[in-house]
Amino acid sequence: MSDDDLTALITSVEQQEHHLVFPRFDEADAWELGSLLVRLATERRLPVAIDIRRGTQQLFHAALPGATADNDTWIQRKVRVVERYGASSYLVGRRLAARGTTLGPELGVDPALYAAHGGSFPVRVSGAGVIGAVTVSGLPQADDHALVVEAITAYLGDR
């Protein structure tokens, strides 16, 4: 990917995060959004695991055919990135790539515990900031990210 393409991608993901803000987020929202993600993934026969958290509480989790326990580990690692940086795991990874670096000890993180790979998107509530994360694991990172963004966009558009 060229520097210009990477810059454009970073700008696009930043805009997604700026626009995809929830007015509120509770257990019912997690259930509806998670169910929407399951429907989308099932219709497309995607082998993914889906996870939605508010703070440290897991509000929704599903593993579809083809997903493995390894996907759950990736989810945990991606969520930690959202929690630490307040941005999507994809955006953090692309920003690091633009600087020619990755997450690691030089940034004070253990790469065995953190993954700056696409798929975990912050649940940002108007007036409250980042309060959780919606995460998908099982596809290439850009596709994990795109599926989450598609679902959040549709969910917020229905409100």
Cα–Cα distance measured from residue 102 to residue 118, given in angstroms and rounded to the nearest whole number: 13
pLDDT score recorded for residue 4: 80
* pTM for this prediction: 0.94
Adjacency order of strands within the sheet including 120-125: 57-63, 49-54, 129-137, 120-125
Query: What is the domain range of residue 62?
Result: 3-157
The number of domains in the chain is 1
Q: What is the CATH number of the domain that holds 41?
A: 3.30.450.150
Side-chain half-sphere exposure of 138, counting CA atoms within 13 A: 24
Two tokens, residue 7: 């810059």
CA distance 50 to 60: 8
Q: What is the pLDDT of residue 143?
A: 98
Q: What integer pLDDT is reported at residue 2 of this predicted model?
A: 81
Q: What is the pLDDT of residue 159?
A: 62
48 CA to centre of own chain: 13
Tokens representing 67? 């997903």
Query: Residues 27, 28, 33, 37: is their CA dihedral positive or negative?
Result: positive
pLDDT given for residue 148 in this prediction? 98
Mean pLDDT, 10 residues at a time, the chain of 159 residues? 86 96 97 98 98 97 98 98 97 95 91 96 97 98 98 90
